[in-house]
Structure formats: structure tokens, C-alpha cells
Structure 1
Amino acid sequence: MLGSADLPEGIDEVFGGSIEIGWQATGSNRYDALLGYPAFGFGFLTYGFPQTGILGKPNAFYLFLNAPFKRWNKFSLNYILRLGMSYNWEPSDPVANPSHLALGSYRNLYISAGAEGQYLIGEQLSASFGVKFAHFSNGQSSLPNAGMNLLTPHIGIKYDFNGGDRPKYIKYPKPEFTEKGMVYYVTLGNGIRQIFFTPDSTTATLLPKQGVSYPVYNISMGAQYQFGWTGKLGGGVDFIYWGAYNPDIELGQGNVVQAVEYPFSDYLQLGIFISYEFVLNNISIIAQPGYRVIRKEYKGMPTDFYQHLGLKYHVHNLIIGVGIRAVNFGQAEYIEWSLGYRIRKPKK
């Protein structure tokens, strides 16, 4: 983390620990073998920053997936994915905590990825060692949102509660995918984008760097072709209500600071996107780069090219999703929560 007046050399020390409870795939469904018999479950982590107390002592609950790049007799090289929600941050505050310049919220989304080696040292015990990259963000729902990035080595011990009865990790021939076809879907998403304002002569009652929250709604309609067990490719359109159009503030009735209102049509935008979806049974990871083709321009507006990275869970044909909408491949606009429905049309 960059330095401040109180910490001119910045923050470069962090320690933490985690505990996880999970399940080892045994080959009970086709995806077990396709993904190399992964482990999945949930966990809890905690971090500390010994150089300062301005960041708080954050914790997080998360879901995890560990799957092998390559597996040998007693050793495997794995990739690791984590997604969850963190809390107990000490948020930035212009009065109470002005030295914290990264995050303006008590709760923040937690995303982590990395690689590790795992070595079996007994029938029920194995050791792991590797490196993880972690990112914390509130998706611009509360400012500031510079984000927090941590790159840390890790070591761990894993215990098998199944008495050493491990799956045989049989590498079956990849089965033919017979369900190729189109998938049509519609989702309704919502998020909050916060913008800072500096007080002037007409808004002197505004606190320094006070944020105003604007709603964002998005209706996505798309079509994808599922070409294999783990992949879908397609595209679609985004119908966007951009509540943060030309953000400005004014004094309303009773000298209350409020957002300036514009005609409804000024808030409307249309985007088009291409989509790739990595399928893990009922869970999918989606990546959707898009471009705003219709919108009313204003000073300081974000770029037309935008990105959407998210997670979807399917309950039959119902879609439950969460993702980050961003620009410039890293500047979050907002966190989007969504619900939707899909219709599958298998190829005849």
C-alpha cells in the first residue's frame, strides 16, 4: 500500500491465517474427472498489518476450489480459487481515519487466486506451499475504492478425515459431449456507484469528500453456444440505467444536499458484449467484454469499453449471479447482483 503522511514508507508487511473445510471429489459425476478430482468447500481467514492499525483487522468467509494442473504419485501442482466477503476493515474517513486511502467500507468483496504444491506425507496428512494473490474491493459502492492487493506466500497442513481412503484419481477418456446447443438467457442486475464531491459555496454543509450513492440497473439478454463440457461462447446486449449520469449536487428543500436530477432518457444506455463462460457443473465463471454503443455524453464519463467478470449459480434454469463491472481492466464501476432465467435448446 502507498504511503501517507503518517506512514511515508507505506505498508509492506502482512500476516494471516485461514482454516478450511472441504470435500474431495471422488468421481461421482463427470466433472470430477474432467477437472482432475478437485477439492471444494468453504473457509475463514484473518489478516493483520503489524505496521499500523488504520486498516483494521479484516476477516473473510469464502468458497474455495483447489484443482490440479498435474498430479503425480504423492505430489500435485494445483491452482487455487477463492471468492467471498470480508469484513472488519477500518474504513477511510476524512475525519476519523484520513490516512487510510484504499477502502471506504467496512465490508469488501474478497477474490483470490494462486498456485501451490501439495505433498502427501502420510496416509491422512499432506503439506502445501505456494503463493496467492488476493484482491479486496467494494466495487465503487463506497469511496475511496483504490482496492487492496496482497501477494503472499503460504504454507499449510491438510488432514484427511476419511481415514486415508483416497480416491484412485483414475484418468478416464474424456466423454463425448452430446448436449451441444444454444442457451438463451435474461438477467436483471443491480448495483450502487458512489461518487465523491468537494464542498463549495453552495454546498458548504457537505462534509469533506462526502460520497453520494447512485443506483445502476442492467437488463442483459444473451445467447450462447455450449460447445463442450466446460465451455460456452456467445454475446448479447445490455440495457443500462446509469444513475450516475453527469453526477452533480445541489441544495434542496431545507438546505439538504441532494443529487441533481435529469430527464429519464439521459440515464439510459445500450451496450453490446461478447461472452465466454467456464462451466463447472451448476457453477459458471463468466467474462464479458462490452462496448456502450448508445449513451448521452458528459464530462468525466467512463470509457465506452467495459468489462464484466462474474460468478453464476444455476438452480435448474434459474440464474443467481454476482460480478464486478469495470473499465480499464481493473477500475471497478460497481458490484452487480443479479437474477435471471435461461432456456436451453439442444442441437438436434
Structure 2
Amino acid sequence: MTDIRIFIKFFLICALASAVMTPAEGHSADSTKITHRIGVNVRPSFIVPSHKFFRGENALGKRLDKSGSAHLQYSFSFPESSHFGKMYPTSYQGIGLAWNTFFDQEEIGSPAAVYVFQGARLARLSRKLSFDYEWNFGLSFGWHPYDPYGDLNPNFINDKNLVVGSRLNAYINVGFMLTWRPAAPWVLSAGIDMTHFSNGNTCYPNSGVNTVGMRLGAARLFGPVASSELTPKHRPVEAFSRKRFTQRLSYDVILYGAGRAKGLMWNDTPYISEGKFAVLGLNINPLYRVNKFFRAGLSLDIQYDESANLGEHVAGIGDDGNIKFFRPPLSEQLGTGLSARAEFVMPIFSVNIGFGRNFIYKGKELSGFYQTLALKADLYKGLFLHIGYKLHDFHDPNNLMLGFGWRFGNK
């Protein structure tokens, strides 16, 4: 009941913050001004039972299958006379604050999240109704992690929570919704929602938390009415549609790094290695601009992983009970691969998805296929921030990819 009361209070605060804002300007015809948006939404969800902890092996001794979150969001749309306003008239982007509950305060906590988000229209169904999407990406904090010895809380031994290993976790969300605009300043929405929390394999355990559910929200616009009401025939012609093949090419060069934890089986016993292991990588990714929303291409991927193939170089168990290793040769820690890349392009942000395989490597841990998911945020001219995650064979978490990139050629 405590979680429910906190949830209701947070939502009411969010709703009040939205309601007390200055009234909207209405149907302003000024195409040089930014349109602002304040919104609130709630997201009741079902916890995907991907781990035995959620299926009943927890301190409460019952199945954990419910969660919820309340969100306060600020976003803006570019002026319709601007480059982005003409190219992406329905897009909005901003920052959000969320409070989450999983109805198990002692073991999981009630983490908050701060995130960036972006959304836009996918299809126009009528003059006031559309089908939209929105993604959220940020950091959640306030988790109660695995604590088998009571180091964090002497009053509670949190030894059954094998899904959360850190106080900070990445927050990734995507939603699809029907959006209704009953009057110029107001936007109402309802749809489905999917969320993933994970620490990116920076420490163990890292099973992660996944939820699927609904989202119900309302937002109010402040400033001129955006050009999203224009029909497709009134939209500007894309200038790059007349460009030659070479003029549509760009080249992203990305340098990234991260630290990661390492767990392995040795003599049929699981071990977690001490400390963190360094990861460094370089991507050289030519991309062809198919249209204003989409780029595609290939990427040469070079990655050094200090933890790769450690299982083949175990020295034994130390007096402290921790597993010890000999350092593997560089050839077993360095892999070079080729991946197919697809990139969804919007103002400021791009989402890049990759599927590849190493062709120069040594050791079984660098074999097989790998997958990448990355968010790129434009900073200055060709410079962008790169935040990504790498999987092995679709299910094994590998490492974060935190760094910067530079885009040459077509911007």
C-alpha cells in the first residue's frame, strides 16, 4: 500500500505541475517560434518473469508480476520554418523524470529515472487522431541491489535478488500509442509500452528487469501550433532526394570504451572475477542515406576486451576464494568483425542497429555473431555522443559502448 500511495502522490504532483503552467498561445501563426510541451503519463505494466526471482523465489515468497511508473516530461518541437521543422514536422524531443515501483520495496526498491526521449507520428488516421511512437533512454537510480552479506543494509540480507546488481541501471523504453488532439493546446494518448532496465554488464548479477504494459497520458502545448496538421502534399520536397549516390554517403568513425564484469564456469562451479575489465573499440561505418529517416551500410568493428577468453587461462583459486588468471595473449583479446548497420534518423538523435560476426579472432569467446544497439546524439557539426550496448548470439550481455564519433561527408 505504501508504494501505491507514493505512486498516486507522484502522479498528482506531475499533473499539478502541468496544469499550473501559463496558458498556451493557441493558434499562433509565428513559424519562427519553438513549440513547448509539458506532459504527464502513467504506465501500469506486467513484469516479464524471465528469472526465478520474479516467479516466487524472493523474500515475499510470491510471484512478482506487477509494476508501474509515473512520468513528468518536457519536450519541444522545432519551428516550422527551420530545417528540422520542415523535414520532421511531427517530431518532439525532451527530458523526462519517472518514478517506478515493483511492489517489493525491500528487495528491489522504488527507483527514479532521468532520461531523454523523442517521439513522432507514424501514421495519420484522421484530422485529430494519429498513431505515434516514443522512445526513452536514460539512467535509473535508487535500486536495492543484490546484497548477500548486508553490507548496504545491515537490517536486511538481500540475497535472493539475483536480477539487480547495482544501484544505477540503464533505462530503455519504447512505446506505440494512439494520439488524439481534442483541442489545439491538448494532446491525449493511450498505447502499449515496453521497458528494459540493466547495468550493461558492468557488475553482477545482471539479469535485468523487463516490463510490458500500457501507457495513458496527457500533454499541453505552449506556443505556436506546429505544422503537424499539414497534409503530406504540403510538405517540402527532400533536397537530398535529388543527390547522386556519392552525395548520399557519410562515414561515421567511433571510438568507445567501457568497463565490464566477468563471470564464468570453471570445474562446473560459477565464479565472478574480481574488479572490472577494460573494453576499447573502434567502428568505421560508411552509411548510405536512403531517405530522411533511414541510413544503411556496413561497419568495420575492432574491439579489445580484456576479459575475453579468461576461462582458457585459469591459474586456480586463491587463498581468498577468488578465481585467478594468467593474462591471455593480445590475439585472444582482440577481435575484428564486419556488421550490417541500419540507422533510424531524426533531429538530434539517431538509433543504430547492427548485426555482425568477427572474421579475425582467436578463442571461442570471440566467435559467433554479435549484435549492437546504439543511440547517437549530435553535439557539434560532425561530432556526436555514442551510447551503445553489445550482445553475443542475441542473448548473452557483452559490454557497453560509451564514446564519441565524427561524421564525415553528408551530414
Matched, 1:246 2:309: yes
Output the aligned Cα RMSD: 2.9
Shift of 1:191: 1.8
Report what 1:184 is aligned to.
251
Unaligned runs of 5+ in 2: 1-48, 150-156
Shift of 1:128: 1.9
- Report if the CA contact (8 A) 1:187-1:319 is conserved: no
CA distance in structure 2 between the partners assigned to 1:90 and 1:173 by the alignment: 51
Partner SS, residue 155 of structure 1? strand
Report what 1:150 is aligned to.
211
- Amino acid aligned to 1:312: K
Shift of 1:290: 1.0
Which one of the candidate residues 373, 380, 401 is aligned to 1:336? Answer: 401
Q: Cα–Cα, structure 1 residues 47 and 255, in superposed 2: closer, same or farther, change >3 Å?
A: closer
Report what 2:70 is aligned to.
17
Report what 1:112 is aligned to.
173
Shift of 1:47: 0.5
Shift of 1:56: 1.1
Shift of 1:268: 1.6
> Which stretch of the first structure deviates more once superposed, 259-268 or 215-224?
259-268
Q: Cα–Cα, structure 1 residues 252 and 145, in superposed 2: closer, same or farther, change >3 Å?
A: closer
Which one of the candidate residues 94, 118, 122 is aligned to 1:69? Answer: 122
Matched, 1:159 2:227: no
After TM superposition, the structure 1 = structure 2 runs for residues 35-114 of structure 1, keeping only pairs within 5 Å, are: 35-71=88-124, 72-95=126-149, 96-114=157-175
- Report if the CA contact (8 A) 1:110-1:134 is conserved: yes
Deviations 1:35-86 (A, max 9, x none): 4412211100010122452111111111111211233322222111111111
Partner SS, residue 89 of structure 1? coil
CA distance in structure 2 between the partners assigned to 1:123 and 1:241 by the alignment: 53
Shift of 1:176: 3.7
- Amino acid aligned to 1:182: L
- Report if the CA contact (8 A) 2:87-2:236 is conserved: no
CA distance in structure 2 between the partners assigned to 1:266 and 1:101 by the alignment: 30
- Amino acid aligned to 2:374: G
Report what 1:204 is aligned to.
none
- Report if the CA contact (8 A) 2:179-2:188 is conserved: yes
CA distance in structure 1 between the partners assigned to 2:336 and 2:309 by the alignment: 17
Which one of the candidate residues 283, 292, 295 is aligned to 1:229? Answer: 292
Q: Cα–Cα, structure 1 residues 255 and 125, in superposed 2: closer, same or farther, change >3 Å?
A: closer
Deviations 1:105-148 (A, max 9, x none): 11111111111222234443332222210111111111111111
CA distance in structure 2 between the partners assigned to 1:208 and 1:225 by the alignment: 45
Q: How many residues align?
A: 337
CA distance in structure 1 between the partners assigned to 2:397 and 2:104 by the alignment: 28
Q: Cα–Cα, structure 1 residues 252 and 341, in superposed 2: closer, same or farther, change >3 Å?
A: farther
- Amino acid aligned to 1:340: G
CA distance in structure 2 between the partners assigned to 1:150 and 1:329 by the alignment: 19
- Amino acid aligned to 2:141: Y
CA distance in structure 1 between the partners assigned to 2:271 and 2:336 by the alignment: 34
Matched, 1:307 2:371: yes
CA distance in structure 2 between the partners assigned to 1:106 and 1:89 by the alignment: 5
CA distance in structure 2 between the partners assigned to 1:46 and 1:245 by the alignment: 37
> Which stretch of the first structure deviates more once superposed, 106-115 or 47-56?
47-56
Q: Cα–Cα, structure 1 residues 344 and 17, in superposed 2: closer, same or farther, change >3 Å?
A: same
CA distance in structure 2 between the partners assigned to 1:183 and 1:175 by the alignment: 17
Which one of the candidate residues 126, 134, 139 is aligned to 2:200? Answer: 139
CA distance in structure 1 between the partners assigned to 2:366 and 2:160 by the alignment: 27
- Report if the CA contact (8 A) 1:239-1:268 is conserved: yes
- Report if the CA contact (8 A) 2:358-2:366 is conserved: no
> Which stretch of the first structure deviates more once superposed, 73-82 or 252-261?
252-261
Report what 1:268 is aligned to.
334
Shift of 1:90: 0.9
Q: Cα–Cα, structure 1 residues 230 and 155, in superposed 2: closer, same or farther, change >3 Å?
A: closer
Unaligned runs of 5+ in 1: 201-206
CA distance in structure 2 between the partners assigned to 1:276 and 1:152 by the alignment: 27
CA distance in structure 2 between the partners assigned to 1:327 and 1:253 by the alignment: 30
Report what 1:317 is aligned to.
382
- What percentage of residue pairs aligned between the two structures are identical? 23
Partner SS, residue 177 of structure 2? strand
Q: Cα–Cα, structure 1 residues 226 and 14, in superposed 2: closer, same or farther, change >3 Å?
A: same
Q: Cα–Cα, structure 1 residues 306 and 198, in superposed 2: closer, same or farther, change >3 Å?
A: closer
Which one of the candidate residues 125, 131, 134 is aligned to 2:186? Answer: 125
CA distance in structure 2 between the partners assigned to 1:317 and 1:25 by the alignment: 20
- Report if the CA contact (8 A) 1:25-1:37 is conserved: no
Shift of 1:150: 1.0
Deviations 1:258-311 (A, max 9, x none): 54312233212111112222222442211111101122124xx26520011101
Q: Cα–Cα, structure 1 residues 56 and 86, in superposed 2: closer, same or farther, change >3 Å?
A: same
- Report if the CA contact (8 A) 1:112-1:134 is conserved: yes
CA distance in structure 2 between the partners assigned to 1:154 and 1:240 by the alignment: 39
Shift of 1:11: 0.8
CA distance in structure 2 between the partners assigned to 1:342 and 1:40 by the alignment: 22
